[in-house]
Structure 1
């Protein structure tokens, strides 16, 4: 079947993000020059027409490596005006806002993220400072600043409620993209792809273009790896500390050669360095190849994640000094802000992309 590319080039003056992405995907599907790039392109070639669910699925597979843009012969000034990285980025953000409740809060954070994140960190720090003023007289270690009961209640609620919100959002996404019964084989393929971040290698394994003109590097991939695996180490550190506290009655703070510190310190270093590199790359990157309207929200998320890691390392370094109290309040305030905004920041992309990879594994398995 022959497809008329010039017929596909015409687009309404005020099309939605999904309609514009569909127009561009149809042109890309007819051209197929970039089919050796990320998972978007082999998945795209399986269809001749794209439903709203198909477009949303492809958008969440995209890592915005920008390789296809620099390889494309139909970008401006060509009349087709293709910018697939931006088109898919806008659909991706729109899908998070659509599936995560409440929708208005998601839009607010995405569009004014830096100021909102700063306000939330400040507000949470104020709450914790008030709690410190009401601290128990007999507390030891961290619990001389905040009682263990207060910490447990605050962070249990802050952890589980956002995960419930995200869970419902993922369920709505799964229905929208036509997800079917999941097998262990699908999960194995999806987790392997997510763990390696292979799609951040771009076309011909050159990496992402986040620095200068047509210069591709693996910097963004390694920074993502550092943040992701650093986060996992910090999570494992928290779990091990919980076991030590409740099962073995060993309370924080812990020594350097304890399991929580052997996991948490390297994890915090990886998150901090990876976060700093992601901030650098985002400042260098061309905004027009992403979703410009949510640039502030995305930057706020990276900064918040970096502050959580860096303040945790600073807190450990200050053990035994008078700086522990203010650092603990700031650190816990940043963690609370991170948890409570989890469904409404770019962090939610990790959950949606994993589900998109599961759906892609289903499609590829036939």
Structure 2
């Protein structure tokens, strides 16, 4: 037996039940077991941030496991490179084990926690049912007022739903989403005990988030989806969705400035900045979300956790329908169908913001926090306690 194999077997024996910390949940225990084996091998150390962060630890408590699970981008490179992956007796599957813990963190850090548990098991149903419910309520309101069908002069949205009403509805929903996400990220951040954030650390983490650097796979050639072949498709579809969402949010922000600073009310000309930003963002979402859904359906079952599919698909489906309804509203805003289209679109947007803190979107802030933690950590001594004793 080769020395490396002896070392690996020793790590496996230790992981199988010795003196290491026992975790409350089997998902955390499995990640800790796998990482002790990976720590003995270290073949994948240069693949992504997870492995060099792993080598800085000898034991893996819950905080470490949650941190590393959210640092993982599930590119699949380590699974295909690992000689101890299933069907080997060690059954080392980093992407799947990390995905299972990552799904747990969405619920563990969610606020309020009951919403997180509901969304975890019924993501698609909750998203679409909530969107349909809110849209139906708005449609009924318009029907009772006799304004469900009929063109508003100049396609004015505020003639259908007054501006004060829209602010009164969307303001609390948006603040709720921001507060819920903020509480979750704060809980996660405090558990990691990250240290001091400097300009260099913030810039490094920001660049990793903006470029989706670790979706480039182990060697920058992309992810392994259903087989050993590398592809940048997952990274590109993520980027289209990510920047599409940001452009749509920026469009809404610019429109708000138009309204309050310049007294200009929607709808705006097709050549105006809010509309151009919204169209560009809608195109990004309309391209990115079907692509992500297609890859999700094709992905090898060993590369993820099937229980996460409702969470992922619920979010991407809702985003896609928001983009499509937004385009329809923009094209037919001067038609008799505009009030109906507006009610449907607003219902979906409200549902999106109500579910943001509990689904796929939650992994964005948590992963950004993990990347910032890594940017801080990698500038510190490997083993500060040992360094102080030397």
Match of 1:118 among 125, 128, 138: 128
Distance in 2 (CA, whole Å) between partners of 1:312 and 1:291 is: 32
Matched, 1:298 2:308: no
The alignment covers a number of residue pairs equal to: 364
Question: What corresponds to 1:74 in structure 2?
Answer: 84
Deviation at 1:294, TM superposition (A): 2.3
Match of 1:228 among 213, 236, 242: 242
Matched, 1:146 2:149: no
Does the 8 A contact of 1:74 with 1:81 survive in 2? yes
Q: What is the root-mean-square deviation of aligned Cα atoms in Å?
A: 2.1
Question: What corresponds to 1:160 in structure 2?
Answer: 175
- CA 1:53/1:318 → structure 2, altered by over 3 Å: closer, same or farther? same
Question: What corresponds to 2:221 in structure 1?
Answer: 206
Match of 1:218 among 211, 232, 256: 232
Does the 8 A contact of 2:12 with 2:36 survive in 1? no
Distance in 2 (CA, whole Å) between partners of 1:322 and 1:200 is: 45
Distance in 1 (CA, whole Å) between partners of 2:119 and 2:300 is: 21
Distance in 1 (CA, whole Å) between partners of 2:362 and 2:178 is: 10
Question: What corresponds to 1:174 in structure 2?
Answer: 189
- Structure whose CA Rg is larger: 2
Distance in 1 (CA, whole Å) between partners of 2:142 and 2:194 is: 48
Does the 8 A contact of 1:60 with 1:352 survive in 2? yes
Q: What is the TM-score of this pair, normalised by structure 1?
A: 0.94
Does the 8 A contact of 1:269 with 1:313 survive in 2? no
What are the equivalent positions in structure 2 for 1:9-48 lying under 5 Å apart? 9=12, 11=16, 16-48=26-58
Structure 1: runs of 5+ lacking an equivalent: none
Distance in 2 (CA, whole Å) between partners of 1:81 and 1:241 is: 53
SS in 2 for 1:347: helix
Deviation at 1:173, TM superposition (A): 0.7
SS in 2 for 1:4: helix
Question: What corresponds to 2:302 in structure 1?
Answer: 288
Does the 8 A contact of 2:194 with 2:377 survive in 1? no
Distance in 2 (CA, whole Å) between partners of 1:235 and 1:255 is: 18
Deviation at 1:83, TM superposition (A): 1.0
Distance in 2 (CA, whole Å) between partners of 1:220 and 1:323 is: 36
Segment drifting more, 316-325 vs 341-350: 316-325
Segment drifting more, 80-89 vs 140-149: 140-149
Question: What corresponds to 2:273 in structure 1?
Answer: 259
Distance in 2 (CA, whole Å) between partners of 1:99 and 1:339 is: 17
- CA 1:147/1:15 → structure 2, altered by over 3 Å: closer, same or farther? closer
Distance in 2 (CA, whole Å) between partners of 1:62 and 1:135 is: 51
